[in-house]
């Protein structure tokens, strides 16, 4: 029995939105990297979160959220995890190609997916992820391995991403999509002082403001909106599987916009991590929730 054109369209529509969202996030990251020479990764993160919080404030009106003392604590941790994830990811981009940084960061949601399942087959996905990580570790003077400090920043962003998922789900159960706006606002309050101390008055460079707004839209406002629409139309497993290809989008974005050429072992490493994430998502328990990205 073949699917009707309407049924096929209803399936392709959210998939298309999700692909656009991933492309938007990685394009925003490429644009953000162009700001590093002026305000550094610290200032870039601050500007992105400040403008994103303003946009989310207008769109989602988070003052309508009804917070209890318990839910407020959850939202604060969620927002700090979001801020830490953005900050550490941009810090990693100073010395690590975009595709590799995304792959390393993706170990966070991968760990959450494996923990949610905890089946024997998960050892296969763990092994694949470890192979990917080993392919990225510098070995010998002539190796194409990544910068260790930059890699550590990306892995730290992955830890924050895992915390973001766990606490974001708890906070979202209390306040729905308004949680995203609250989280971005808290993240901005958390990271902005670091960016201000590092970049100072350079943050007020007129030519930088339109770029920062573009990064905020591409990396936050647009993809968050598209992902929210896709989430309501796709099964959790399908959503998680599609999100697993985001490291590939990062690598392609780095190649197209930043001329970051990766070696064959680095492409293999990204492939291993993608396969591990796809496998973990496909074998996770049915009741597990999708892994919503927010780098």
**CA–CA separation, 244 and 280 (whole Å):** 10
With b for 16 or more beta-carbon neighbours within 10 A and e for fewer, the 242-274 pattern comes to: bbbebbbbbbebbbebbebebeebbeebbbbbb
Q: What is the pLDDT along the chain (295 residues), one digit of tens a residue?
A: 455 566 656 667 888 888 898 899 999 999 999 999 999 999 999 999 999 889 888 877 777 767 677 777 888 898 899 999 999 999 999 999 998 999 889 888 778 777 766 677 777 888 888 888 888 775 544 445 678 899 999 999 999 988 887 887 777 666 666 777 888 889 999 999 999 999 999 999 999 999 999 999 998 878 877 876 776 677 766 776 777 788 888 888 888 888 888 888 888 988 988 888 788 767 765 544 444 445 6
pLDDT at position 196, please?
95
Q: Are 23 and 219 in contact (CB under 8 A)?
A: no
As given in the structure block, the two tokens for residue 234 are 């796709």
Return the SS3 of 139.
coil
**CA–CA separation, 245 and 227 (whole Å):** 15
**CA–CA separation, 1 and 91 (whole Å):** 51
Look up the pTM and report it: 0.82
Q: Are 219 and 89 in contact (CB under 8 A)?
A: no
């Amino acid at each position: 029995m073949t699917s009707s054109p309407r049924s096929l369209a209803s399936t392709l529509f959210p998939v298309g939105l999700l692909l656009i969202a991933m492309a938007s996030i990685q394009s925003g990251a490429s644009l953000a990297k162009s700001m590093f020479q002026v305000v550094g990764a610290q200032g870039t993160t601050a500007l992105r979160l400040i403008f994103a919080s303003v946009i989310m404030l207008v769109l989602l009106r988070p003052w309508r959220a009804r917070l209890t003392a318990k839910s407020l604590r959850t939202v604060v941790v969620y927002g700090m995890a979001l801020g830490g994830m953005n900050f550490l990811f941009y810090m990693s981009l100073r010395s690590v190609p975009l595709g590799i940084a995304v792959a390393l960061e993706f170990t966070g949601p991968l760990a959450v997916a494996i923990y949610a399942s905890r089946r024997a087959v998960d050892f296969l996905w763990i092994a694949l992820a470890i192979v990917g990580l080993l392919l990225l570790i510098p070995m010998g003077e002539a190796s194409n391995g990544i910068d260790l400090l930059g890699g550590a920043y990306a892995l730290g962003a992955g830890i924050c991403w895992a915390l973001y998922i766990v606490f974001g789900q708890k906070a979202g159960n209390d306040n729905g999509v308004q949680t995203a706006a609250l989280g971005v606002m808290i993240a901005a309050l958390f990271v902005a002082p670091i960016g201000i101390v590092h970049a100072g008055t350079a943050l007020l460079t007129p030519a930088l403001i339109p770029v920062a707004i573009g990064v905020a839209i591409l990396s936050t406002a647009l993809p968050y909106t598209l992902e929210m629409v896709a989430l309501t139309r796709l099964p959790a497993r399908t959503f998680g599987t599609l999100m697993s290809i985001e490291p590939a989008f990062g690598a392609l974005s780095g190649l197209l916009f930043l001329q970051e050429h990766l070696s064959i072992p680095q492409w293999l490493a990204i492939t291993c991590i993608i396969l591990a994430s796809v496998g973990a998502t496909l074998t996770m328990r049915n009741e597990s929730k999708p892994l919503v990205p927010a780098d």
